Structure 1
Amino acid sequence: MSGRELQRIEVLSEVLARRRTEISAAAILGLSTRQTRRLLTAYRDGGGGALTHKARGRTSNNRLIPGIREYVIELVRSRYADFGPSLAAEVLFEKDGVKVSRETLRRWMVEEGLWLSRKQRRSFHQPRLRREAYGQLIQIGGSEHRWFEDRGAPCSLLVFIDDATGKLMQLRFVPSESTLASYFRRGGLRRSSGWRRCGWSE
């Protein structure tokens, strides 16, 4: 018997001996008063054996056939390696007549390295290597802020960074971060009227 079943026998014996009330027994066992009465009746009629779990010693109804795991993994590996667990479970049932729950198949595939869990997929990141030569790629980012406090209108600061070296190439203040005003500006480094309104200076 398990420890919980032995505790039930001890508490129910005290109730039958009138040393404890049903309400007190229910509180100790963590059961409702109604469930405690049912257990008390079963214990009075059938003894301690009536309190053991009826499925003890029996094979689980959900137990899979021995060797089914290896068979399913081989099918997935050879035919459905690019399938996720949900789709693989459906196809295994429809085409191969093998019924395995989606979560069981997911666990097997993770254990065999055939599927990455959601946490593993989130943590997987392929780092991008920097460009090899100076000037190959210039990264541009903008930050909108009241850079001049109350002395001027809010504007965006554009930062130009060389990808290979990390060197700051240029910083610009523009009215807003837009393709036309920020990135396709004509005239090289000459100021525009919009930049002057922001308080930009060379």
Structure 2
Amino acid sequence: MARTALLTMSMRELDRLNTIEAVADGKLRTSTAAQRLELSKRQVNRLVKRYRTEGNTAVISHQRGQRGHRQLAPGLASMALAIIRDRYPDFGPTLACEKLRECHGIVLAKETVR
């Protein structure tokens, strides 16, 4: 017996899947699908190609479930905040940021420290 995986999609992704299926089946033109999805015809063709190889998961973002590229390492913010509160409570964000970099090797932007 084949196992099926549970696939969670937003309404927008479900609409995109229905449109891409229609293009793959020849029921809808690429240009019409591009207008409907607010994409270029090239991107619709890429999605159709990916749909044919991957199936329904082709329309779901591959970034789902991954941390953001600009996200701080876990615990870094709390560690920096603890150091600032202990040693530099009266410093402004710019000076505190410089001291973190010089004395502790923690590189953060002044707006992050703020």
Classify the TM-score, shorter chain: 0.7 to 0.9
- The structure that is helix-richer by fraction is 2
How far does the alpha carbon of each residue in 1:75-118 deviate from its partner, in whole angstroms, 9 at most, with x for none? 22233334332332232122111233333222xxxxxxxxxxxx
SS at match of 1:19: coil
Distance 1:35 1:87 in 2: 47
Q: Distance between the aligned counterparts of 2:41 and 2:30, measured in 1?
A: 7
Is structure 2 residue 73 aligned with structure 1 residue 64? yes
Superimposed CA distance per residue, residues 56-75 of structure 1 (whole angstroms, 9 cap, x where no aligned partner): 22344434223x33322222
Q: TM-score, normalised by structure 1?
A: 0.45
Which of the two has greater strand per residue? 1
Are 2:18 and 1:34 aligned? Answer: no
Distance, in Å, in 1 between the alignment partners of 2:110 and 2:61 is 29
1:54 is aligned to 2:40: no
Q: Which has the larger radius of gyration?
A: 1
Root mean square deviation of aligned Cα: 2.1
Whole-Å separation in 2 of the counterparts to 1:63 and 1:92:
15
TM-score, normalisation: structure 2: 0.73
Structure 2 alignment gaps of length 5 or more:
1-8
Gaps in structure 1 of 5+ consecutive residues = 107-202
Moved over 4 A (4+): none
